């Protein structure tokens, strides 16, 4: 397929985790979800 003439329609959450270059972002919701799980397990 010719990507240049058929651009993709971007869908889904815009803040999902990605790696760009040699840096991999950790979105805030992942960090908060981990803290929540630790709270649930009485680890914090």
Partner 1 sequence: MQCPWCYIGKRKFEAGAAEFAQQGGGEVEVEYHSFELSPDTPVEYEGTPVQYLSERKGIALDQVEMMLERVTGIAKDVGLDYDYDHVHQTNTVISHELIHFAKSKGRQLEMKERLLKAYFINGEHVGRIPDLVAIAVELGYDEAEVTEALESHRFLADVKADVALAQEYGIQGVPFFVIDGKYGVSGAQEASAFANVLAQVASERDAS
- Binding residues for partner 1 (CB under 8 A): 1, 3-4, 6-24, 26, 30-31, 34
Least distance in Å: CB of 35 to partner 1?
A: 10
15: phi then psi, degrees, rounded to nearest 5: -110, 25
The answer to whether the beta carbons of residues 30 and 16 sit under 8 Å apart is: no
Q: Minimal distance in Å, beta carbon 29 to partner 1?
A: 10
Provide, rounded to whole angstroms, the least separation between the CB of residue 41 and partner 1.
12
By the 8 A CB rule, do 38 and 44 touch? Answer: yes
């Amino acid at each position: 397929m010719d990507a240049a003439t058929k651009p993709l329609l971007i869908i889904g959450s815009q803040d999902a985790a990605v790696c760009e270059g040699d840096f991999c972002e950790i979105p805030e919701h992942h960090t908060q979800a981990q803290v929540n799980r630790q709270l649930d397990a009485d680890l914090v």
